[in-house]
Structure 1
């Protein structure tokens, strides 16, 4: 259904979005991988070496700032031969791998950073690739709205996974519980009603936070819209049910209330087209970041650089 684009979706560096704390996360990841002595690093020492980063499967390159910082903290520098967000396919000479970067630094530093860097790049690139593929498929089917991820991310790795969605052209949805107020079924049941839940949320939300309400049917959607919700999530509807409810809600509330409609709940590439219609503003799915295939990379120190010890 989709066609690949070799050009990145975003212009400019997404690195400028990253918070001040992101580099300390990388320090922690490196500490996790080398908690005490680096025994193998003792073997190779500090001699300067050059290594090649190879892409061994097709996909979107994503995670460049993180990869660069991992190697920087180990005393190495990275020169990229591919732009983040671009699609990497087989090399022009027909080989099964493509040279995407050159890394230079002390041999010990290269090997300290290798596994942490490859793991991150493979995961982030996999998310970007699946996000891009699904987005292009939806566009080719005529859907004009937003494709978004969810908060079903890996604890401690959310920043990278959300970053991969952005590189792939998907929306990150809310980053965390502080980003937007989402009132799901458990919130509503605990409070007693949608109307009371929205009213209570508005007391603390201020003017800057949107309120989203998860609904199970059109009647609940009407109540949420009447209460002043900004986003209505049609959760676990059938494809036909989404189309009927969305059209009805648009007609019923036209000129009375402004709101966004979102559809979510078990959406994947094999069923999402049953739900995609332009009465829906947002399609959200965890399938673009949860359990996605990785893009395969390897880092190999260039041959002929062995040190002869006398």
Structure 2
């Protein structure tokens, strides 16, 4: 049930949707809606800039950074591969970016923000994955749909680079019946029967449940996944065990735990009866990985400056 790990050098960029590049003009329209006043200062001269990693973490978001820089006419030479560990407590050269000075600075903040956010998500995702694996648990750690509007592709990509399951990507990816759906329709059984009329047989149905009784009703009605939401301790693991034993050989389904999960409380949610742990903690409020982009001073200019200092 655990998600397969990526092989060394395996590239995730090729699975990005064809439309992802359409986001980049929108990001620039937001960041530079009018004149680039400061760009006038640096002009059109070709320059070289170093991308520095300044805090520890997992490098993620390489295709986004690269495409942002390509959009402004710059080229990127990577010195570290995606999914590499950027060391902490030291500055590390991650890449060299070449282009016109004005264009380098035009793309700088958009590219750095994207890389920092994506790498932060990958870093926390890796910690969650490794912490769960250290217990011997064989299930799946997954993110959630609580992503930033307009930035979901980047955030889901960061989860995958970090090694966790991105869960559903949007409302159309899987049927998830939550408490409001159930209350509005009248019951778990009615909501499942109703959605099956339109969703067909190819979509999984995941039902949010607050107790063993609700989960049992959902399985009876044909749910593929039952989410034991905000259940902890014996209530969680006892219910999960009882459900698995009751339906053994009769129905196939997954048990998911979710709600209020943090790194500190992660291990308490894991057991052989739980198949999936979904949490927004891998992406909602994670700390970004710190990067900077610094244009390198020209040697000739540096030599002139040294000569002038000596003369003084």
* TM-score scaled by length of structure 1: 0.93
Distance change >3 Å, CA 11–CA 231, structure 1 → 2? farther
Q: Give structure 2 stretches of 5+ with no counterpart.
A: 305-312
Structure 1 segment 1-310 matched on structure 2, within 5 A: 11-90=9-88, 96-304=90-298
Please state how far the C-alpha of 1:31 moved relative to its aligned partner. 1.5
Contiguous gaps of at least 5 residues in structure 1: 1-6
Counterparts of 1:112 and 1:188, CA distance in 2: 49
Please identify, of 50-59 and 297-306, the stretch whose mean Cα deviation from structure 2 is larger.
Answer: 297-306
Q: Is the Cα contact below 8 Å between 1:75 and 1:105 reproduced in 2?
A: yes
Q: Partners in 2 of 1:136 and 1:256 — Cα distance?
A: 33
Alpha-carbon contact 1:149-1:171 (below 8 Å) kept: yes
What is the alpha-carbon distance in structure 2 between the residues aligned to residue 53 and residue 186 of structure 1?
47
- The structure-2 alpha-carbon separation of the partners of 1:186 and 1:305, relative to structure 1 and needing over 3 Å to count, comes to farther
Distance 2:130 2:7 in 1: 11
- The Cα of 1:238 is off from its aligned counterpart by 1.6
Could you list the per-position Cα deviations for residues 115-161 of structure 1 after superposition, in whole angstroms to 9, with x for gaps in the alignment? Answer: 00110100000000000011101100121110000011111111101
CA separation of 1:218 and 1:306: change in aligned 2, threshold 3 A: farther
Judge conservation of contact 1:9–1:167 (CA < 8 Å) in 2. Answer: no
Matched with 1:4 is: none
Q: Determine the C-alpha separation between the residues in 2 that align with 1:227 and 1:187.
A: 15
User: 1:50·1:102 contact (CA, 8 Å) conserved in 2?
Assistant: yes
* Partner secondary structure for residue 123 of structure 1: helix
Change (3 A) 1:128 1:203: same
Deviation for aligned residue 1:239:
2.2
Distance in 2, Cα, partners of 1:306 & 1:217: 72
Shift of 1:9: 5.9
**Cα shift readout 1:160-192 (whole Å, capped 9, x = no counterpart):** 011100000011111011110000011000000
Q: Which has the larger Rg?
A: 2
Secondary structure of 2:76 counterpart: strand
Specify the alignment match of 1:3 in structure 2.
none
Distance 1:286 1:89 in 2: 25
- Distance (Å, rounded) in 1 between the aligned partners of 2:6 and 2:220: 41
Deviation of 1:8 after TM superposition, in Å, equals: 6.4
- In 2, distance between residues paired with 1:167 and 1:48? 33
SS of equivalent residue, structure 1 residue 50: strand
Normalised to the residue count of structure 2, the TM-score between the two structures is 0.92
